[in-house]
Structure 1
Amino acid sequence: MNQRLALKQEIKELGIKIGLLIIVFSVLFGFCFGFIANPDDSMSPAFCEGDLVLYYRLDRTYVSNDTVVMKYKDRTIVRRVVAVEGDTVDINEDGQLMVNGFVQQESHVFTKTYPYKEGIEFPVTLKKDEVFLMADNRDNAQDGRIFGPVKRSDIKGSVMLICRRRNL
């Protein structure tokens, strides 16, 4: 009889522990972290379509070269910060990104950078709390060349971890 009570007590304690773990993970992933599947190849080769991306929601201090997650129209996308408030972004006739008059050496970009005809006018100077985002795969990517500077408040968070789901 004592063994049955002890077993019931252990099962009850296990249920409480599992419930607490579920609550802790819900809070963490509801407020601190986010998890998405990368929707396209616009950040390749660093991020491929379908890669799982873990991002941190609480940090709002972005610097150049940070990778962030943001909502654009009805999609959640991953883009790289190329300039922050006070910087002037331009694209020269040779297809090079320029920030504050200096050509950027981007080791993760393998194509030239050209403005879109339907996009914004360059040069653009970023205001307070704005960042400029671009994709690594600059051909046909929807990035700051189309939607312009982004408010820090429109960014969901900074990327912490990538989990490859293909090409392993």
Structure 2
Amino acid sequence: MTIDFPLILVILVFGSGTIWLLDALLFAPKRRQRRDALRSKFPAWEQEGSRDALAYDAQVVSTAAEPALVEYSRSFFPVLFVVFVLRSFIVEPFQIPSSSMVPTLEVGDYILVNKFTYGLRLPVVRTKVVDLNEPQRGDVMVFFPPHMNDTYYIKRVIGLPGDTVSYRNKRLSVNGEPVATEDLAVLPGAGARYQVSMESLGGEPHLMQADQLRPARDFSVVVKPGHYFMMGDNRDNSSDSRVWGQVPERDIVGKAFAIWMHWDSLFSIPSFSRVGSIQ
């Protein structure tokens, strides 16, 4: 079962905020009045250890104390609200769960996703409320794939709306123009032989790899209006738009822009050697 953290966060923020607000408007004034009345009844309430102070404290606890739920809501709401704003509209952390973006991103990389680059969206419902920029070829983008509408995926933008994307002999072409590619090295793997290359989409170079031992999966496709064609940089080990189709604009989450930590597993030591921007 997938945990819908954005929905849980929204419920916690609005729940705690509502409890705090209703208490401040309806119940807190009455508690203050009761405390004022008790101070008049026990004039020496401020003298620590006095009979009046002990009686006053006991009466406050029994008749004018702030309920625990209100106390927790008042304490946690500001923190939850800041997390909500940061995560929903500014930047969100994301962990790389698979090898589909190797060599650009490795399993265990922790990255940051810019949530406002492609426009501001309401959390949970994903409705865009402010238009800003559009995705560009070569962007590394986080999104909800068409076949799993509750799970984040991360791939590279290959085709924009209206583009014709072709893949022949493991080389990309966009709108009939071959994508500039420079072969760098051949690396052996477990049952694989990876050709590592520098590819340039939209004028920005990035690393990609293809397994020379696997047959090419040639295709040609026209990107639908309002959709994006996504592919992993690990071209022969990626479930992407070749498998589950094009990504509609409404399912965009944000642009991945930086690696801030690498952590292989719970029992390993986090590393910061891969910290840097994502190309």
- For 2:84 and 2:95, how far apart are their aligned partners in 1? 19
**Residue identity opposite 2:209 in structure 1:** F
Equivalent residues, number: 148
Is the contact made by 2:229 and 2:241 (CA closer than 8 Å) also made in structure 1?
Answer: yes
2:155 is the counterpart of 1:79: yes
2:154 is the counterpart of 1:57: no
- For 1:164 and 1:45, how far apart are their aligned partners in 2? 16
Aligned to 1:130: 227
- For 1:133 and 1:45, how far apart are their aligned partners in 2? 16
Q: CA deviation at 1:123?
A: 1.8
Equivalent residue in structure 2 for 1:25, among 57, 70, 83: 83
Aligned to 1:115: 217
**Residue identity opposite 1:152 in structure 2:** E
More RCO (CA 8 Å, sep 6+): 1
- For 1:45 and 1:161, how far apart are their aligned partners in 2? 15
* Deviation sequence 1:81-127 (CA, Å, 0-9, x none): 011011101112x22111111211214112269328xxxxx321112
Question: Of Structure 1 and Structure 2, which has the larger fraction of its residues in helix?
Answer: 2
Larger Rg: 2
Q: Which runs of 5+ in 1 are unaligned?
A: 1-15, 117-121
- For 1:151 and 1:24, how far apart are their aligned partners in 2? 29
Aligned to 2:140: 67
How well do the aligned residues superpose, as a CA RMSD in angstroms? 2.6
2:259 is the counterpart of 1:162: yes
Is the contact made by 1:39 and 1:76 (CA closer than 8 Å) also made in structure 2?
Answer: no
**Residue identity opposite 2:107 in structure 1:** E
Q: What is the TM-score with the length of structure 1 in the denominator?
A: 0.75
Equivalent residue in structure 2 for 1:147, among 244, 248, 254: 244
- For 1:144 and 1:30, how far apart are their aligned partners in 2? 26
**Residue identity opposite 2:216 in structure 1:** Y
Q: Which runs of 5+ in 2 are unaligned?
A: 1-73, 119-133, 181-198, 200-205, 264-270, 274-279
Q: SS at 1:79's partner residue?
A: strand
- For 2:94 and 2:248, how far apart are their aligned partners in 1? 21
